[in-house]
Amino acid sequence: MIIVLTGAPGAGKGTQAELLAEKCHYRKVSTGDSLRKHVKEKTKIGQDAAVYMDAGNLVPDDVLFEILLHEIGTKKDEKIILDGYPRNVDQAKTLSDKLAGTHAVVRAIHLDVNKDQLTKRLSGRRTCQDCGASYHIEANPPSSEGVCDRCGGQVIRRSDDSPDKVANRLDVYENKTKPVLDFYKDRGLFVKVDGAGSTQEVFNRLKNELAAACGG
């Protein structure tokens, strides 16, 4: 079964998906992380995708489907938390048409954060280029500047977190990803969770939503 975690860039999907994986035994699948790995390893997919990612645009759907199939795998009866997919209605249809037999979407959770907050979070966000851990220069800086607490890797600003790219990513979200919310509303799978506040506050709300799966 798949829980889709959706929301604008900066809504905290990656951080919350990680917590759900750690504390509630979901397997986290993040298309953004997979793409960044391809870019880092300079695979063909990575080289083609980098142009789109650097501009804050969506990578073509066929590439994403290939990545999705690879990451989801064939193991049934797994609890997967899906971060970053679907990003448009065609991807949502692909997910339900092609994977429902083995991996049905049972819920789509929208982490809801207002645009001012998103801009603040993204402009101060820093990311470990080795393990992907996420920091914020004010709210959650690494203990030693530029060094990841978790793996010792270098903490940098993602190229697509620069102010000009952030504006485009928020537009892409409004125009292409937001309609996905209606797709799941129409199917009775949609839940909205307030994404404002601390990481722990948001996680507690998510845990309440997924109470049975997360030990109450």
**Where in the sequence numbering do the catalytic residues fall?**
13, 87, 125, 158, 169
Report how far residue 213's alpha carbon sits from residue 79's, in angstroms, rounded to the nearest whole number. 9
**Where does the chain have alpha helices with state H?**
13-24, 31-40, 44-55, 61-72, 89-99, 115-124, 163-172, 179-186, 199-209
Residue 207: CB minimum distance to ligand AMP, A: 22
Length, in residues, of the chain: 216
The residue whose two tokens read 């917590």 is 19
Amino acid at 101: G
Closer residue to ligand AMP (CB): 64 or 148? 64
**Binding of residue 128 to ligand AMP (CB under 6 A):** no
Report how far residue 83's alpha carbon sits from residue 177's, in angstroms, rounded to the nearest whole number. 13
**Binding of residue 9 to ligand AMP (CB under 6 A):** yes
**Binding of residue 180 to ligand AMP (CB under 6 A):** no
Closer residue to ligand AMP (CB): 63 or 210? 63
Residue 18: CB minimum distance to ligand AMP, A: 12
- Contact region for ligand AMP (CB under 6 A) — 39-47, 53-61, 140-148, 194-202? 53-61
Residue selected from 32, 82, 122, 170 as contacting ligand AMP according to rule CB under 6 A:
32
Residue selected from 6, 16, 31, 96 as contacting ligand AMP according to rule CB under 6 A:
31
Strand order in the sheet with 155-156: 134-136, 125-128, 155-156
**Binding of residue 122 to ligand AMP (CB under 6 A):** no
CB 136 within 8 A of CB 121: yes
Which residues are at the interface with ligand AMP (CB under 6 A)? 9, 31-32, 35, 52-53, 56-59, 64, 84-85, 87, 91, 160, 169
